[in-house]
Chain A
């Protein structure tokens, strides 16, 4: 009788370990899928985004001053409240590219967050780069925001919108917020915020950035 019960216990134990194994395999597969997802979007976005923004075009030829009425002023300066323009790739609407050199990351950013979108790429949680209150949420896939916790204060972050305007930031604060801290996440005078889940999924690694003047 004891032997039979022992066999049941061993079998159950093996099943649990098998479940852990399959979950690990699934997670690794999902991580790889997520990496491929952002990789192809980055390639297409880079091809779409103009290399030089309007402002850079103007300043690039200092020897030939552009007449005042022929200067191209970026639209977001003329109207900071404008919606961030999007570029659609495979049915997903992207607002730009996020680069974090310290984490060796170059990621596309989707215009609106949803759980299906978060599986594709980091998403705008709310705000606008033009109003200096952009908040970006990302899955903690290794290829998405999984390395955020390694990001130290003083590291550089850039965001390039689909018009080619580049916004430069410096990491000012790294903090851990509870999953219910919605108000805290949205408050504070931060120009850019990035967040993702901690490994246990209970809290959020939150990176606060200030825009370089």
Chain B
């Protein structure tokens, strides 16, 4: 029986909030000249997970007021890098993971966990710039179990909301999934489901989108989603021994977000008014009230509209034509009786 271990989930969640949630506190502006560092602590309970490679990617620069500017190549991926909550940051990490693997983006820094299950960045003589980072951990096997670290975003420096202060040396505890190594080959199913967030612009949707399934970062299959296949697809019989990821080919005019819910990858495309990326933070807050941008607009509300409506002012006529039957019968009988009476009258006159 499979066992799940999510010991670090809560810790990471706390960290995500600590590091990424916006604040209007008076923590002051970010000292961009200050050295920043990240330590990843990777453990299964008290057991350090050793020799696990973590790669970090510099996704966005940050200015003194907490505003992000995406770096190359992340600016081209049509993602919204201003998460409004923990779930949005998680989705951003999941989305970017696919693009990083597909395009083989070179990590900003890489390192392996040591005997205590920790790895610190920058490694060697490198240095890190303040900003937003994506952190990816590689699949790891230890003591008969397979560990998959969940990708996550981290901002350096992080905002300690309790202390109202910027923390320049940050420690992160990654969330992970853990399963025993299967004794027999196991196959898995993966689904992709397209969600459109395009209230009022439904007619402008592209007729099709292209989705790629990656196996260990390499394109394994390419499928086209359309209204005809209900914007969804299912892959079955996939070898569980590989890491499966889904990416959407970039779509002009939409931001993309990929989240995983069970076996389903939900790809959400949100309509943007302009093809050009929107300025992330149009107005800079005052230096006294640093504010990490809060991200995408609130979710649009678009109820499903009927595809057909009655053309006239009436509800559809859904009845058989029965009413003439008694009317015709009654009228016919009356005429027959009347006719018989006339004939009888004519006979009597003769």
Q: Which of A's residues lie within 8 Å of B, judged by CB?
A: 1-3, 5-20, 23-24, 27, 30-31, 64-65, 67-73, 75, 78-79, 81-83, 85, 111-115, 118, 124-128, 130-131, 133, 137-141, 145, 177, 179-182, 185, 195-201, 204
B186 to chain A minimum Cβ distance, whole angstroms, is 10
User: Are B189 and A72 in touch, CB under 8 angstroms?
Assistant: yes
Among B231, B260, B339, point to the contact of A6 (Cβ < 8 A).
B339
5 A-B residue pairings within 8 Å (CB atoms): A16-B331, A68-B262, A72-B262, A78-B195, A114-B308
User: Are A20 and B332 in touch, CB under 8 angstroms?
Assistant: yes
Comparing B33-41, B62-70, B283-291, B309-317, the segment that makes contact with chain A is B309-317
Comparing B22-30, B103-111, B151-159, B298-306, the segment that makes contact with chain A is B298-306
User: Are A67 and B319 in touch, CB under 8 angstroms?
Assistant: no
Most chain A CB inside 10 Å of its own CB: which residue of B188, B335, B337? B335
Among B4, B177, B193, B334, point to the contact of A75 (Cβ < 8 A).
B193
B144 at the interface (CB under 8 A from A): no
User: Are B323 and A201 in touch, CB under 8 angstroms?
Assistant: yes
In the complex, A175 Cα to B195 Cα: how many Å?
37
The residue on A at minimum CB distance from B331 is A16
Among A2, A68, A72, A79, point to the contact of B195 (Cβ < 8 A).
A79
Across the A-B interface, how many residue pairs have beta carbons closer than 8 Å? 200
Contact partners of A180 in chain B: CB under 8 A:
313-315
* Given A12-B335, A17-B329, 5 extra CB contacts under 8 A: A3-B346, A6-B345, A13-B337, A111-B307, A199-B319
User: Are B189 and A182 in touch, CB under 8 angstroms?
Assistant: no
Among B307, B314, B323, B332, point to the contact of A199 (Cβ < 8 A).
B323
User: Are A16 and B314 in touch, CB under 8 angstroms?
Assistant: no
B14 at the interface (CB under 8 A from A): no
User: Are A13 and B336 in touch, CB under 8 angstroms?
Assistant: yes
User: Are B343 and A127 in touch, CB under 8 angstroms?
Assistant: no
Contact partners of B310 in chain A: CB under 8 A:
182
User: Are A145 and B303 in touch, CB under 8 angstroms?
Assistant: no
B342 at the interface (CB under 8 A from A): yes
User: Are A10 and B336 in touch, CB under 8 angstroms?
Assistant: yes
A69 with B313, Cβ < 8 A, contacts A6-B343, A9-B338, A139-B319 known: no
The residue on B at minimum CB distance from A111 is B307
Among A64, A124, A128, A139, point to the contact of B320 (Cβ < 8 A).
A139
B347 at the interface (CB under 8 A from A): yes
User: Are A8 and B339 in touch, CB under 8 angstroms?
Assistant: yes
Contact partners of B321 in chain A: CB under 8 A:
23, 27, 201
